[in-house]
DNA sequence: GAGTGTTTCAAACGTATGTTTGAATCATAT
DNA sequence: ATATGATTCAAACATACGTTTGAAACACTC
């Protein structure tokens, strides 16, 4: 018989986790993380996942309810703690600074450092997960977009006000756009080592080094955030002129 | 009977295009562009496409050979001319400048202006296509990545040397990374108006204005390209310190 | 207007998908 | 031991997919 689909609480009376359930669920999450990362959500089948995890096909629906819920569980498992850590770190920085305003560099650090810690935690699939996350950001599936925006909203809101304080001259609307660009560069960067070959072949010894990668990304983004305001007047003249 | 799959050349002796074929192929391309844009490659079925186009299911395989080849045709139709225009514009700028070096702004303009022209050409699905393109960049399907990298390689190479001349102090390797970040911010920006809601609700009257969007993106990217070099020494100390 | 090659069409093919089922197995508490 | 509930398993379910087929419809030349 199957228990209620949505509830994962089915412990024994003594409070100890049933060992095999934990193993099965975690094996599924690990296999799902790797395969979703490699092929995306739609192109990954439950049969691939259960085969890679060494469990029965029906185990996914038994433990998670559906393929979509499995995908969300794969994301939540790492995203939840990481975003919590980001907010915690940001608030600690703010406490340390007292009344003085926080610099953009430090705010960005509060976003990057938890991601770096995750990337470094290889025994728990860190690097794979960051690639998966970057891809999920670009996935058109509505349930993924809903899930991510709900998962991210509190953190993004918190950082938006922090950046807004660090860049007082920047209009709110402009800041929103620039945060959007920032998330784009970050997601895209995390998503693909492959995509990088689009631009140039890279020394494979340096590839896979996500830490250097984020350290190169940070100054790029800080400079972008602090860029002068765009001149929004009369773009069409330039465009038409170039046609000649 | 079906003709050779790969060849699209099946004209009549007098050289005039058979009217119905052009209509069918183009209706399929239009419907595919819209649906691929909305749901991605894997999640869009040929039955959806042919139904939206008002043509028979078999028409896709007859005219394009396979779903993958249809997708490539959808991309090629607009990407090919756009990238050609980009290179042409860049070379014109270089000719105009003579010996003087081109500024980053103008090089970026050579990338943006053709994209803006496409976005503005709404009767030919311009804006939809840019979103589709942004999503294709993040798609993990191998055939998409191969196709895009082949399609983009010449253009990217051309712009890389242009930027390299405009930013002589920047090491080659650093430039490659920054171009990667640039492509990321650009793709992500073009891909989703939806994704923007992740950060904040936007005035719907301004949403959909891709021109303002790219004009806001340009200064952000120029500043990022010109950012000071990252300090790659001793990141771990900072990361560990923040843990306390 | 017969002949030729192209394009459309309804139908089917083979395969793969996510999900469900009901019996079997396992762990534990009484 | 036995009863109870959680978990596994092989099998099947219903449906959707991309692709193929062979005949009908069409356009055009001679």
Q: Within the 210-239 window of chain A, which residues sit less than 8 Å (CB to CB) from chain B? A: 211-213, 215-232, 235, 238-239
Please say if the pLDDT value at position A204 is more than 90: no
Instruction: Say what angle helices A104-120 and A67-97 make with each other, to 10 degrees.
Output: 140
Distances (CA, A) of B1 to B5, B9, B50, B65: 11, 16, 20, 14
Please say if the pLDDT value at position B199 is more than 50: no
* CB proximity A57 to B under 8 Å: no
**pLDDT (mean) for B22-50:** 92
Q: How confident is the model at residue A141 (pLDDT cuts 50, 70, 90)?
A: confident
pLDDT digits (tens, 9 = 90+) for B116-128: 888 777 766 667 7
**pLDDT (mean) for A126-143:** 80
Please say if the pLDDT value at position B22 is more than 80: no
| Token digits of residue A23 | 């193993």
What one-character-per-residue DSSP string does A32-83 give? Answer: HHHHHHHH-STT--HHHHHHHHTS-THHHHHHHSSHHHHHHHHHHHHHHHHH
Q: Which of A162, A153, A178 is nearest to A230 (CA)?
A: A178
Q: Do B185 and A189 touch (CB under 8 A)?
A: no
Please tell me the distance from the alpha carbon of residue B58 to that of residue B147, in angstroms, as a whole number. 24
Mean pLDDT of chain B: 80
Q: How confident is the model at residue B238 (pLDDT cuts 50, 70, 90)?
A: low
pLDDT digits (tens, 9 = 90+) for A7-29: 333 434 333 444 455 689 999 99
Query: What pLDDT, on a 0 to 100 scale, did the predictor assign at position A27?
Result: 94
Q: How confident is the model at residue A239 (pLDDT cuts 50, 70, 90)?
A: low
Query: What pLDDT, on a 0 to 100 scale, did the predictor assign at position B242?
Result: 52
DSSP state of B122: G
**pLDDT (mean) for B156-182:** 91
Please say if the pLDDT value at position A207 is more than 70: no
Q: Which of A150-154, A224-228, B20-24, B172-176 has the lowest mean pLDDT?
A: B20-24
Please say if the pLDDT value at position B62 is more than 90: yes
Query: What pLDDT, on a 0 to 100 scale, did the predictor assign at position A84?
Result: 94
Please tell me the distance from the alpha carbon of residue A54 to that of residue A48, in angstroms, as a whole number. 10
Please tell me the distance from the alpha carbon of residue B193 to that of residue B202, in angstroms, as a whole number. 10
Residues of A in contact with B182 (CB under 8 A): 185
Please say if the pLDDT value at position A97 is more than 80: yes
Query: What pLDDT, on a 0 to 100 scale, did the predictor assign at position A210?
Result: 58
* CB proximity B177 to A under 8 Å: yes
Q: How confident is the model at residue B4 (pLDDT cuts 50, 70, 90)?
A: very low
pLDDT digits (tens, 9 = 90+) for A28-63: 999 999 999 889 899 999 999 999 999 999 999 999
Please say if the pLDDT value at position A6 is more than 80: no
Give the residue with greater pLDDT, A193 vs B97. Answer: B97
Enumerate domains of chain B plus CATH numbers. Answer: 1-65 (1.10.10.60), 76-228 (1.10.357.10)
Q: Which of A228, A230, A220, A229 is nearest to A108 (CA)?
A: A220
Residue with tokens 């939809």: B128
Q: Is A8 exposed, middle or buried (0-12, 13-18, 19+ CB in 10 A)?
A: middle
Contact assessment for residue B151 and residue B73, using Cβ atoms and an 8 Å cutoff:
no
Please say if the pLDDT value at position B136 is more than 50: yes
Instruction: Say what angle helices B104-120 and B210-225 make with each other, to 10 degrees.
Output: 160
Query: What pLDDT, on a 0 to 100 scale, did the predictor assign at position A185?
Result: 86
Interface residues 56-95 of A with strand D (CB < 7 Å): 56-59, 62-63
Please say if the pLDDT value at position A208 is more than 90: no
Please say if the pLDDT value at position B171 is more than 50: yes
Cα nearest neighbour of A85 on chain B: B243
How crowded is residue A51: how many other Cβ atoms within 10 Å of its Cβ?
A: 13
Rounded to a whole number of angstroms, the distance from the CA of A55 to the nearest CA of chain B is: 26
Please tell me the distance from the alpha carbon of residue B177 to that of residue B227, in angstroms, as a whole number. 12
Q: Which of A85-99, A105-119, B169-183, B207-221 has the lowest mean pLDDT?
A: B207-221
Contact assessment for residue B73 and residue B28, using Cβ atoms and an 8 Å cutoff:
no
Give the residue with greater pLDDT, A207 vs B109. Answer: B109
């Amino acid at each position: 018989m199957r228990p209620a689909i949505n509830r994962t609480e089915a412990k024994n009376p003594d409070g100890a986790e049933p060992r095999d359930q934990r193993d099965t669920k975690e094996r599924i999450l690990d296999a799902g993380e790797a395969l979703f990362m490699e092929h995306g959500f739609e192109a990954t089948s439950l049969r691939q996942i259960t085969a890679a995890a060494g469990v029965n096909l029906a185990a996914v629906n038994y433990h998670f309810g559906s393929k979509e819920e499995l995908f969300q569980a794969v994301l939540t498992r790492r995203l939840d703690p990481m975003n919590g850590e980001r907010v915690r770190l940001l608030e600690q920085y703010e406490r340390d600074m007292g009344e003085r305003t926080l610099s953009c560099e430090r705010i960005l650090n509060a976003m990057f450092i938890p991601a770096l810690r995750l990337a470094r935690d290889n025994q728990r699939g860190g690097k794979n997960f960051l690639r998966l996350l970057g891809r999920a950001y670009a996935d058109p599936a509505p349930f993924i977009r809903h899930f991510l925006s709900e998962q991210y909203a509190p953190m993004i809101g918190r950082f938006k006000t922090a950046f807004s304080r660090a860049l007082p001259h920047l209009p709110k609307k402009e800041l929103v756009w620039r945060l959007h660009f920032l998330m784009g560069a970050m997601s895209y960067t995390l998503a693909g080592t492959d995509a990088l070959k689009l631009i140039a072949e890279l020394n494979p010894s340096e590839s896979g080094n996500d830490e250097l990668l984020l350290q190169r990304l940070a100054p790029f983004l800080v400079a972008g955030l602090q860029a002068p305001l765009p001149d929004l007047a009369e773009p069409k003249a330039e465009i038409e002129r170039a046609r000649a």
